Amino acid sequence: MSEQTPASTPAASGTPGGVPVPKRVRVHHLAQMKERGEPITMLTAYDAVTGRIFDEAGIDMLLVGDSIGNTMLGLHGTIPVTLDEMIPAARAVTGAAHRAMVVADLPFGSYEASPQHAFASAARMLKEGGVHAVKLEGGERIAEHVRLLSQSGIPVVGHLGFTPQSENSLGGARVQGRGDEAAERLVQDAVALQEAGAVAVVLEMVPAPVAERATEVLHIPTIGIGAGPGCDGQVLVWTDMAGMTAWAPRFARKFGDVGAALYTATRTYAGAVRERTFPGPEHTFAE
């Protein structure tokens, strides 16, 4: 496990039975990483299998994103995703991740109506999903929601720029914050979230100079996705990162070809069954 815990982030907290238990990444670690200029790593995860792998690989923050809609549930976008669909995914990831901070999206329709609406959904996400923080989309308009959650002991990650839950009013997946006025509004929104108590802000599809400016102005970390290298951290949807999809957005890089490896393994398994070379004696109980 020691290899899986980067030196810069929390070290193992103990060694019960000789197995080092990694210390959980907490809100104050994110602040320290920003202060020290250490990039924060974040990746989506929707189940225990990938949650465990990404946690062991040393990812600092796992996001149970509402992108589960398009990546796992076969839905068109994030808008149809419900809290009842998100909670079991969150529980699976939190059950598997020992070191990463697990953050879950509050899905569309589960928080917008009022701060109390947001609190009821966030409380379920913490109690039933076991997550350590929730993510909400929006700026000033949800600042009071963020304030109530923060004051109630629920860490909140903001999400600005292209916010997929508003794709219908934004006219699709488009870069946000272009032009002086829009850029200024985005930075103001980020400051409003910080003042309300947010612990970090995701910036999605934002021009790099605007993300850099927000990163400079804020004392909480910015986590970019399609927002250039100037953010305090980066997040990707894991299926884009690992090459599981035929198409990925321009801002995503494919760091592996897991989809192709899975395809090959599947074909090989099916071939072995058809040729009766699997199961072999070593997979068979004689009596």
User: Which residues are annotated as part of the binding site for Mg(2+)?
Assistant: 66, 105, 137
Q: Which of 38, 56, 204, 212 is catalytic?
A: 204
Listed residue (85, 67, 280) closest to 163, CA to CA: 67
Q: Which of 61, 237, 242, 244 binds ligand KIV (CB under 6 A)?
A: 237
Shortest Å distance, C-beta 255 to ligand KIV: 16
Q: Which of 225, 227, 231, 242 binds ligand KIV (CB under 6 A)?
A: 225
Q: Are 167 and 77 in contact (CB under 8 A)?
A: yes
Alpha carbons 141 and 139: distance in angstroms, whole number: 5
Q: Which stretch binds ligand KIV (CB under 6 A): 28-36, 58-66, 142-150, 183-191?
A: 58-66
Beta bridge partners of 44: 63
Nearer to ligand KIV, 5 or 231 (CB): 231
Nearer to ligand KIV, 72 or 258 (CB): 72
Note the Cα 41 to chain centre separation in Å: 9
Alpha carbons 117 and 111: distance in angstroms, whole number: 5
Listed residue (119, 157, 116) closest to 138, CA to CA: 157
For the chain, the distance separating the N- and C-terminal CA atoms, rounded to the nearest angstrom, is 39
Alpha carbons 200 and 219: distance in angstroms, whole number: 9
- Per-residue three-class SS string for 45-74: CCCHHHHHHHHHCCCCEEEECCCHHHHCCC
Torsion of CA 195, 197, 202, 205, to 10 degrees: -30
Contact flags string 65-94 toward ligand KIV, x per CB under 6 A: xxx---------------------------
List the structure tokens of 253: 């890089």
Nearer to ligand KIV, 204 or 232 (CB): 204
- Compute the residue count for the chain: 287
Contact call for residue 38 and ligand KIV (CB under 6 A): no
Backbone angles phi, psi at 260, to 5 degrees: -65, -40
40 three-class SS: strand
Number of residues located near ligand KIV, criterion CB under 6 A: 12
Contact flags string 102-121 toward ligand KIV, x per CB under 6 A: ---x----------------
Shortest Å distance, C-beta 142 to ligand KIV: 15
Shortest Å distance, C-beta 113 to ligand KIV: 20
Shortest Å distance, C-beta 103 to ligand KIV: 9
Q: Which stretch binds ligand KIV (CB under 6 A): 8-16, 59-67, 96-104, 271-279?
A: 59-67
Contact call for residue 194 and ligand KIV (CB under 6 A): no
Contact call for residue 239 and ligand KIV (CB under 6 A): no
Residue 204 among the catalytic residues: yes
Any idea which residues carry the catalytic annotation?
204
Binding positions for ligand KIV, rule: CB under 6 A? 44, 63, 65-67, 105, 159, 202, 204, 225, 235, 237
